[in-house]
Every structure is written in C-alpha cells, then in structure tokens.
Structure 1
Amino acid sequence: MKYVAGESVKSFLEPLTPTEENHWIERFQNGDKEAKDILIERNLRLVAHIAKKYYSENRENEELISIGIIGLIKAVNTYNPQKGKRLVTYASKCIENELLMMLRGEKKKNREVSLNEPIGMDKEGNTISLMDIMENDGIDALKQMENAEDVVRVRQYVEKVLSKREREIIVMRYGLGGEEAMTQKAVGKAMNISRSYVSRIEKKALEKLKKAFDNSYLM
C-alpha cells in the first residue's frame, strides 16, 4: 500500500475504468499480489468520498479514511465478479459498513462512559454514578438519587418521561413524595394491583429514567 495518512484526495490515483478493473481482478484472483495493491490504491478516492459524509470536528478525517480502507480491503478480498456487480459498487457498501460499525462502536463506548460519569454525591459524601443507581435493585436506588446533587433533574425526569401510573409507583416505592418508601407488595395493595405487576411497571420506569439520563450525557 502506498497510501500515507494525510494525503489529499487529489493525490490519489484515478479510478479504474471497467475494463481495467476486470483486468486487475482477474490477475488478483489468479494469485497476483501486485494486482491487489492496484485495486486498493485505485479505489482510495472512493474511500475518501464516502468518508466525507462522516466527518465532524471531533473526528479526524485521516481516521475515517483508515477505517474506510479496511472496508475496501475486505471488499477486494471477498469480491465475486460472478454476482454481476462492479467492484466499485460492492466496495462502496463494504466501506460504508465499516464506517457505520465504527460509529456504532463509538456510540456504545460513549454510552458506557456516560453511565459511569459522576452525577452527584450521596449523604456520606461518596461520588455516585448513574450505573451505581441503576444497578441497585433495592430500595436504596432512588434514595441515592434523592441524596444526589442533581436531585432536581431526577425529579424533572420522573415528571417528564414517566406515565401517570409509573410515576405513582416510583413515588410510592422510593418515597419521593416525602413519605416512607413502600414495598412492592404494599404499593400493589394501595393501587389494587398485583405485586408482580408493580414489579414490571417499576422496572420499565427505571429503564425510562436510565435512558433519559443516558441521552442527557450524549447530547
């Protein structure tokens, strides 16, 4: 590979014509290693063109091109001319897929980081994160939120993202209304529903709160 990070798009070689593409594909499939390099080098402009769509201030263009080249190499290695598509068409899809995989990986990583970022302090002065809160299945879960510095945001999310029934159950379960926290059984009795139904609604409500916190950190 003659590609060097930082090269301008203009410095990339011209794309292959259909006739040239067929010639080098045939040579590559007959074991010519030089043909593989030519197929990659002559499609670098395609990589740069597709990578442009994913450029942002927080992401280096060189990184995008490097990821795109991985997709191009995979395309060259797996291309089957018998399927009727040109290499450039098949490579475009492979390059796009590789870049999308990178973006999904970044999103997942950012989500994991946001869940572990501090959101406040408990009453003992210990730093707590959203992960600490959401992994705790017991009565202390929303009490920790109550003791956190961003309790106002917690209450806003309870009002904003939960349905009326979910809000009522969360308020009773975790004592957000200033009353003593109640067991699922007690909440069920008060609302004339089963304990298992309370549990299902509570779980769904906590997932909504988790998603609201998660999205606030990714914005």
Structure 2
Amino acid sequence: MATAAPSTHAVQEGTGAAPAAQDGSVAAEAGLPRVSEAQAVAPMDARDLTRLFIDRLQTLEEGTPEYQYARNTLIEINLSLVRYAARRFRNRAAETEDMIQVGTIGLIKAIDRFDPGREVEFTTFAVPYIMGEIKRFFRDTSWSVRVPRRLQELRIDLAKAGDQLAQRLGRAPTTAELARHLDLSEDEVIEGVVASNGYTAGSLDAGGDETGETGGGPSVADRIGEIDPALEGVENFESLRPLMAELDDRERRILQMRFGDEMTQAQIGAELGLSQMHISRLLSRTLGKLRKGLLTER
C-alpha cells in the first residue's frame, strides 16, 4: 500500500494551531460557534454553518488563531463529503482509510480556493476536488510500472472499446478495428496495449518452466540477464535528440564547442566574438531548456 497522505489532524498540527475542539476561546474571538456545537448540527444545518464559517474566513487574517480555527472547523464539519466520495469506490474497501486521507487533502484545497462571491454551493465546488485527489491517488499507486497519464487513460478506453466491439463482432477486435473505433492510429493502439502490461506485475520469485507454468522450475529472476549499464545513456540520448533539434544554430554550436570540442567558455567567446560572461549565460539558458524538456512528460 502506498504511503498514506497526512490526516486532517496532522494538517492542523502543521499549521501550528491547536485542535479545534480545544479552541473555545478562539471561537469566541472569531465570533463563531465552538466546533463541538458545529459537529452536533443536523445535516441540513451543516450547509448554513459551512456558509457562516466560509463568510467569516474571508474577513480573518490568514495565519491568525481565529483563521486557523475557522479553517480547521470547516474541514471537520465537511468530512462527510470525503466519506461520500470514498463510498463511490466500494470495490477498494481495503484502501478506505487512504482514500479518506487523500480526499481530505482535496477538501482542504477546496476550502482554500473557494470564492463565495461566485454564488456556487460549497459542496458543488468541493466534491470535484475531493474526487480528483482520490483518483490521482489511484493513478499514482495502482500501476506496477509508472507510465504517462495519457497511456493510463488509453488503457481504460481500450478496455471499454474491446468489450463493446467483442459484443458486436462476437470475437476479439483486431488492432485496426480498435483504432477505427477510437479514431486513433494503429501505432497508438499498440502503444496502449504494450503500456497496459505495466498495470500488474508477476513476482520474480515465482518459479516456472519454459511454457510459463509456475512451480518446480527456476524463478524468473534466475533467467533474467543483468542490466546493460549503457542502456540509460541510450534512453537519455534518444530523449535529448528531439530537444536538440528545437535549438537554434548558435545554441547547438555553443554546445558542440563546449562539450564536443571541450573548449573553455573564454575560447568559445573568442571564437564567436562574445564575452565569456555572455557565453556563460547562453550556456546556462540552453542547458536549463534541455533539462526542463527532459523532465517534462512527453
């Protein structure tokens, strides 16, 4: 199971504020009801109470004890929204506690970003934030191998399309049929199918014979060769190739002289008629551009 997100109480502790249940004096200072009274209200009253606390929150200075009290109380009286969202994933009951915790993070974001002037009910605004955090949790933890988000979503589309076409055709659809149905190229469908293999992974300790049957034979790990130490370099080179093509002639020339010809910045400046400081700035900017491109999902 993935590392759990911080709980509401942990979030409260992170703000430096005391738990809301102990803040009766702060409630009085803020002109708000105590949290013990807030928790006892009927569901129909909770909306009015939420609106009261949100309106008051707009008038308080962020970071003050009164502000933290109002914010923490809003979290507590709206935890039912988190539980409501978590119930929509009943098939993952074992992860309910994790869903509650990450959903609470979504609730906190909704509270911090809600604008009462937009005349939208807070529940309408908050539920998408809560659901978004829960779905992001599943997206980031359910896959055995991390793949880009578009391929994760493509796996779901391929599964739905496969079921629909199988019912219509009476057989498993071909790659070309899936591509036409989803308005994709065959290469994109193949990429999605290959990426789907990363959703689950078998144990390397499971023994098996040449036919794939488990038990009685050497483990998968015993038959796997060592990782080629140059493999990472090849991957980096292939990732860098399109980024280099996007650079202008001067940027590519400076990189060639610096890293290909191993010239110093002063030598490059003399060659191009620029100062060493100017070359340093150009080189830093170019390397920063390449580094950002390598860290961006493509």
Quickly name the TM-score band, shorter chain normalised. 0.3 to 0.5
- TM-score, normalising length: structure 1: 0.47
- TM-score, normalising length: structure 2: 0.36
